[in-house]
Structure 1
Amino acid sequence: MEFAYLGPRGTFTEAALRRLPAAKTATATPMSSIFEVLDAVRRGEVDAGFVPIENSQEGTVTVTVDELVGGDPLVIVGEVVLPVTFVLASEKPVGEITTVASMPVALAQVRKYLRRELPDAVVHQALSTAQAAQRAAGGEFDAAVCPPFAAEAVGLPVQAFDIGDNPNAATRFVHVVRPTSPPDPSGNDITSLVVYIDYDRVGALLGVLTEFAIRGINLTRIESRPTGEGLGRYAFFLDCTGHLADARMGEALTGLRRICADVRYLGSYPRDHSDKPVPPPAGLSDADFADAAAWLDRLRREGA
């Protein structure tokens, strides 16, 4: 198996990829952008892609979500949640640094440090933290905000450790492939979807939420993304607890199919979270659905 991932080597993405069971024996190819990674998967140049999708500080990685919402179909079959730690890497002491580079998501997570310690430094954007480290090592910038392993890889001394604003920061990465059947249920799964509502119907979004609520399915994330059709035209990206194979999830999806303009299934896959799965409410387990279906079938056949 060959994976494409957001490179260059030495990124958080590469560190997270090493934790993915499916990638233990795979070939890993770094690419310069999230778009290139997903496009390589779509064209069949690689078997799978691995990209960031969400950060605990800055929220959505919009390029990833927009590609999943609007590009040719891909599905998620796994995730990795990686704690992130940043350092300031430079040949110069902090007091002599005038330019700093990193990727936008990383820079956003060290705002307080930069304002406090480098208020006059000019900040530049790079495609990744590893690229920022490479460019700083080459003399293009004085310093880079990057993970410690990226600084080590290019031989840059670390001038300050743990400079992130939140010591509990983490980034979520996803393993994406061309459309296929999902992994077997693990008992602690996420299902990701995109729903396109009928904008002219009052209460359309409430109807979507109701399909989940009445079946005891918890939405862990809901986000609107523009469709490009005009102002006020949005699709909704959803993460919800459960698996496509669960009876209550199946009923929710069929309900969405009836009331939405369109539904795009983005995969069911094991959670890489420490949170324990919440059991289904009374009457909403697979056994309860099976019993109710058998009862209805008996009524239709026998009338009692």
Structure 2
Amino acid sequence: MRSCFASVPTGVECDVKASGTGCGAGQDSLISVTQRWAYLGPEGTFTQQAVLTLREQLSAAEQSVAGQRLLQEDISTGGLLPPTELLPAAGIAKAIAAVRSGTVDAACVPLENSVEGSVPLTLDELTHGDPLVIVAETYVQITFDLLVRPGTAIADIRSVGSHPHGHAQVRGFVTATLPDAESVVYSSTAAAAEAVLAGGLDAAAAAPLAGRKYGLESVATDIGEVRGAVTRFVLLRRPSPPPPATGNDRTSLVVFVDNQPGTLLAVLAELANRGINLTRLESRPSRVKMGEYYFLLDADGHVSEPAMAEAISALHRRSAGLRYLGSYQRAVGAAGPVPPYASTEAFAAATAFVASITAGETS
């Protein structure tokens, strides 16, 4: 049986605009639930591609037999469901603010790019302010076209707009082909495409999807400097129980440390001693004092697993501060092998051994 969701009530004011619903009326409904997701808009961004991918993945999972059985339980525990409505937001900060305020249930934002690295605004929003958690991730291959109004020739281009990461990825093409063109920064690649359509900009370095959305022509295709570039997008929501462990999960944390010798080593040791594979480590300024930093890390594993739970507990004791950013299924690749001493079975055996000692059953 296919579930259908109720339409979004009217009269909700926020910095996002409706762009479509999940399914129509007149179908059998397992349960009626409104789910609104924001994303970095306007329509035509790479983030829209990411949020559509996430919606498809969740919809497919919901249609499975297991998904049907768990749907009611997921709703009662704040679980994640496919969205009824996707809402473009005018910037990463506004998309995240809409989640924090309760205007939307979740927001899809870019986290890191294979060429330019992390998106600082997303990292800072996750670290400061009311807590949010990552519940899903996806990767989108990034391909840039040079988009213009119909009839515009390359020789006519005097200004090129894009997101800062977009400018960085097409810098070589623009420098070689349009050396005198002004580079104009926009909140998203699609916002630059909108500006081209409105006549305030000559060209945009944006996704082909944006060209189709706004009726623009591509005068040059695949102009990025690095072929095969990808961006990692995450889906954020207010704190709730994590998705169930899948055996191929990632946990993200923010760790604040004192500015003393060996503090970072101590953090890493808590993970290494439990056989946890660290897949990403990045420092960011504290925004309080020069020379003070916090660390964002991704590691293989799920908070429900004994090794990860014990590591998080230890980090909470040893660090100056700890923020849990979520445990969720990896979208690409497989988690590294778990050493025998770090397996769930090994932790269970160790717990049983200690229990036998306290019970006076030591051999």
TM-score (norm 2): 0.81
Within 5 A, what are the aligned runs for 1:1-304? Answer: 1-20=35-54, 21-22=57-58, 24-91=82-149, 92-199=152-259, 201-273=260-332, 275-302=333-360, 303-304=362-363
Supply the AA of the counterpart residue of 2:38: A
| Partners of 2:37 and 2:83 within 8 A in 1 | no
Q: Percent identity?
A: 45
Partner Cα distance (1:178, 1:248) in 2: 25
Q: Secondary structure at the match of 1:123?
A: strand
Partner Cα distance (1:157, 1:197) in 2: 51
Partner Cα distance (1:256, 1:9) in 2: 41
TM superposition shift of 1:107: 0.9
Which consecutive unaligned segments of at least 5 residues does structure 1 have?
A: none
| Partners of 1:183 and 1:269 within 8 A in 2 | yes
| Partners of 2:275 and 2:341 within 8 A in 1 | no
Supply the AA of the counterpart residue of 1:10: G
| Partners of 1:18 and 1:24 within 8 A in 2 | no
Supply the AA of the counterpart residue of 2:329: P
| Partners of 2:135 and 2:243 within 8 A in 1 | yes
Larger displacement relative to structure 2 (128-137 or 18-27): 18-27
Partner Cα distance (1:229, 1:276) in 2: 37
| Partners of 2:36 and 2:83 within 8 A in 1 | no
TM superposition shift of 1:229: 1.6
TM superposition shift of 1:26: 2.4
- Superposed CA RMSD in Å reads 1.2
Partner Cα distance (2:300, 2:250) in 1: 5
| Partners of 1:101 and 1:124 within 8 A in 2 | yes
Partner Cα distance (1:26, 1:290) in 2: 42
| Partners of 1:6 and 1:30 within 8 A in 2 | yes
Supply the AA of the counterpart residue of 2:46: F
The structure with the largest strand share of the pair is 1
TM superposition shift of 1:168: 1.1
Moved over 6 A (4+): none
Partner Cα distance (1:257, 1:153) in 2: 47
Partner Cα distance (2:206, 2:104) in 1: 27
Partner Cα distance (2:128, 2:264) in 1: 19
| Partners of 2:254 and 2:322 within 8 A in 1 | yes
Which consecutive unaligned segments of at least 5 residues does structure 2 have?
A: 1-34, 59-80
Partner Cα distance (1:72, 1:24) in 2: 24
Higher relative contact order, chain-length normalized (CA < 8 Å, sep 6+)? 1
